[in-house]
């Protein structure tokens, strides 16, 4: 794995963590209107973790794929 690929996946993880924070904050407020305190925040956290993991996987994959495509394109132009 090249350093650029590692950086792409690290960026994807950062996007996922940002998604966790936003979904947890908003979800906790919305669910608190409907459910009692022990259950509401727990469901908001669980939902946020799922959304964050999906966002990290999708972002990391897209960035890594874009990087690989750019490398292939540069290799063709050099030859």
What is the DSSP annotation of 3-34? HHHHHHHHHHHHHHHHHHHHHHHHHHHHHHTT
| pLDDT digits 0-9 by tens, 14-61 | 999 999 999 999 999 999 999 988 899 999 999 999 999 999 999 999
pTM for the model stands at 0.83
Average pLDDT over residues 4-12: 92
Question: Looking at the 3D structure of the chain, how many domains does it have?
Answer: 1
User: Domain span at residue 71?
Assistant: 3-78
Task: For residue 8, give the nearest of 50, 51, 70 by alpha carbon.
Answer: 70
């Amino acid at each position: 794995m090249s350093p650029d690929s590692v950086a792409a996946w690290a960026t994807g993880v950062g996007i996922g963590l940002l998604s966790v924070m936003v979904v947890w904050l908003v979800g906790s407020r919305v669910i608190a209107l409907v459910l009692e305190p022990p259950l509401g925040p727990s469901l908001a956290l669980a939902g946020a973790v799922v959304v964050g993991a999906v966002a990290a996987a999708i972002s990391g994959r897209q960035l890594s794929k874009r990087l690989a495509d750019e490398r292939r394109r540069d290799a063709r132009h050099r030859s």
